[in-house]
Structure 1
Amino acid sequence: MVEPAPDDAELMQLLTAAARIPDHGKLAPWRFIVFRGEARLEAGRRLLAIAERKNGTLDEGQRKQELERLARAPLVVAVVSRAAEHPKIPVWEQQLSAGACCMTLLHAAHALGYAAQWLTEWVAYDAEAGRILGVKDGEQIAGFIHIGTPSLPPTERPRPELDQIVTYWQGE
């Protein structure tokens, strides 16, 4: 993905769409962290430091991958799940709501003519990486939505055959 990315007005459209998802109890059990411009590269430098501290010196290809982890697209939005125990709304339902945010953001970006991809990778599951990116205690990254202008036509990946994943309930 390359520039241009959504401008500020388009970004607000995307985030508005992503926030209009199923949300039992109106808890808003998610929030967004936006990475654009130089901030993507600074995040990469910090993630590289964590990766090298945990894994030792990385080769040049691995270093480049970490440095560019949030710079592979001109705009990256982290969807952060804030699911928490609640007397009426299960945590699982709140987590599904965060997933719905990710998927809606992805589709909204496509609807505006941009390319978008939902990724997690190690950064989404590493507490130290989360802290440096702005994730608070009790929160978890549901996904990083990378958004930009497509530089190549999209390629389709293999999908399951529907007859292998669809059943019809017969009440028996």
Structure 2
Amino acid sequence: MDAIELLLTRQSSPRLVAPAPNAEQLNTILSAAIRVPDHAGLNPWEFIVASGDGLAKLGQLFVNASAAEGSDESTQAKMANMPQRAPMVITVVAKVVEHAKVPALEQHLAVGCACMAMQQAAFALGLGGIWRTGGLAFNRVLHQDLGLRDNDQIIGFLYLGTPAVTAPIKPTKLATDVVRYL
């Protein structure tokens, strides 16, 4: 698949099954992430990969975070199972570096680009993925349990695996609907 076709036909894959990316594929996916624009070469990211037993560990961290907010048992059970929706979950974290010329917002955007680059690389490799965020991305207990610093921010959870179903191609949108010229 060429790059333009990939960009124009990209789809999220919400139903993912094994196999997860293998070691070589994961290396390619992570390598794509760190090639995104990164003003001043700050590398303001961290990628926490969970697969196999790591998915249950991540699920328990989700439960702990939810419980700290006073959730009920039903919600906690849902939280425990969330990482099981794919054979691999990458927690994508912005690790902002103090810099006179590169504000935190720009670093967060770079990490967002890294997340998209990973998803695109997964698609190019014949895999599927979906970028999820939600309240857990902002839960300070989860941040603490993951060993994140106060100014770190989870940008999202990238679920990766093999698509269980082929998603229909979404209708083409017209860029002209959202563009204006000066």
Cα offset, 1:103, TM superposition: 0.6
Listed as ranges, the matches of 1:53-132 within 5 Å are 53-59=68-74, 62-132=75-145
Q: Deviations over 1:59-112 (max 9, x none)?
A: 2xx343201122211011111101233112222211111111011001000000
Deviation at 1:155, TM superposition (A): 4.6
Distance change (3 Å), C-alpha of 1:55 and 1:159: farther
Secondary structure at 1:147's aligned position in 2? strand
Q: TM-score scaled to structure 1, two decimals?
A: 0.87
CA distance in 1, matches of 2:140, 2:171: 32
Report the CA distance shift for 1:123/1:155 in structure 2 as closer, same or farther (over 3 A): farther
Deviation, 1:50, is: 3.0
The residue type equivalent to 1:90 in the other structure is P
Percent sequence identity is 34
| Corresponding residue to 1:44 among 59, 75, 80 | 59
Q: Which runs of 5+ in 1 are unaligned?
A: none
Of the three residues 162, 167, 171, the one matched with 1:154 is 167
Give SS of 1:164's match: helix
Q: Deviations over 1:28-71 (max 9, x none)?
A: 01111111111111221232233134224232xx3432011222
Deviations 1:111-142 (A, max 9, x none): 00011111111111001112213323321111
In the alignment, residue 94 of structure 2 is paired with which amino acid? S
Q: Is the 8 A contact 2:17 2:162 kept in 1?
A: yes
**TM-score, normalising length from structure 2?**
0.83
- How far apart are 1:165 and its partner, in Å? 1.4
Alignment length (residue pairs):
167
Report SS of the residue matched to 1:69.
helix
Q: 1:160 to 1:127 in 2, by over 3 A?
A: farther
Look up the match of 1:24.
Answer: 39
